[in-house]
Amino acid sequence: MRVKVEGGSRIHLGFYNIINESRVYGSVGLYLEEPRTVIEIDEEGEIPRELMGIAENICGPFPHFGLRIALSPPRHVGLGSTTQIAMSAALGMSIYCGKRLSYKELALIARRGAVSGVGIHSFKWGGLIVDGGRKKEGSKLKIPSEVEELPPLISRFSIPNDWLIILIIPRNGKRVSEEDEGFMFYPKNPDFDQSLLSRDLVKILHGAASRELLLFSEGVEGIQSKMGEYFEQYQGGRYSSDETRLSVEVLRSLGARGVGQSSWGPLAYGFSLSSERDRLEEGISRALRKEGLDADIIFTKARNRGASAFSEV
């Protein structure tokens, strides 16, 4: 038997709620067509060590199959690759071993959803995702152990196919792994005013629903500005690195909208229309060379469907 799972990657647009009386880290994010995530399972080969725990949980001890990560987004750059690989592997293994598990059950097995639910829900549904954040319990966040503990899906919208999404990934920008994040804590910035974040979220949702890129982008930049203000104390500035800051400035100078940093970076993103691709491609390459910034440039669009699985005997 062979199983193949194909999915995308995600950018995190920010938190519309950092903390309130009962919940923390309500998130908004977007599933992308590129970079893709592809895993393949058959009877040959081995299972990567990082995925062995998932395999044993789903298929039992000493699983007899091989798993290959054929394609994956760059790791620790802001594309949610760890979640996409883990969810893809868990789905593929459940099919290979004949287990009927919901995507939320797979997320628990894969130990996902500790902070944001965007990667989990976008894996299933694609598009623009808004989650409800984590319930505030105890002194810090813990890995969810029950479906009810996962950040719930609040809203999901499709994104127009002619909205171009530009990614700049500095090759030398600071990369933060999950182990390094130190993120499993409740926010501690009593002077931060998050009252305007909900207004920005409404702009994002209204813009997506009405296909108004300008309105959507205003909301994204509003949230991003406030994220930079809040997390400045943790990442040493409005952006995680000078390379990310320069990437954002290049995108903005060329007319891209809704520019920002995904997660802890170093990835910077922006939005435009697909008709602008040639101009932007030339302009970004020229500007990055002028700045001496070594970076990968990716042009993509939203993936308005979740991951797909295929099997053959």
Q: What is the pLDDT of residues 24-56, one digit of tens each?
A: 899 999 999 999 999 999 999 999 999 999 999
| CA 48 from centroid of its chain's CA atoms | 22
d(CA 295, CA 42): 35
Q: What are phi and psi of 165, to 5 degrees?
A: -115, 120
Q: Is the pLDDT of residue 61 over 70?
A: yes
d(CA 195, CA 211): 25
Is the whole-model pTM more than 0.75?
A: yes
Query: Which residue segment(s) compose the domain that 59 sits in?
Result: 2-312
Q: What is the pLDDT of residues 269-302, one digit of tens each?
A: 999 999 999 999 999 999 999 999 999 999 999 9
Q: Is the pLDDT of residue 164 over 70?
A: yes
| Residue 182, domain CATH | 3.30.230.120
pLDDT reported for residue 184:
46
The number of folded domains in the chain is 1
Asked if 239 contacts 228 with a C-beta cutoff of 8 angstroms, the reply is yes
CA distances from 42 to 4, 45, 124, 186, 239 (A): 9, 8, 23, 42, 42
Q: What is the pLDDT of residues 182-238, one digit of tens each?
A: 554 656 666 778 888 999 999 999 999 999 999 999 999 999 999 999 988 888 899
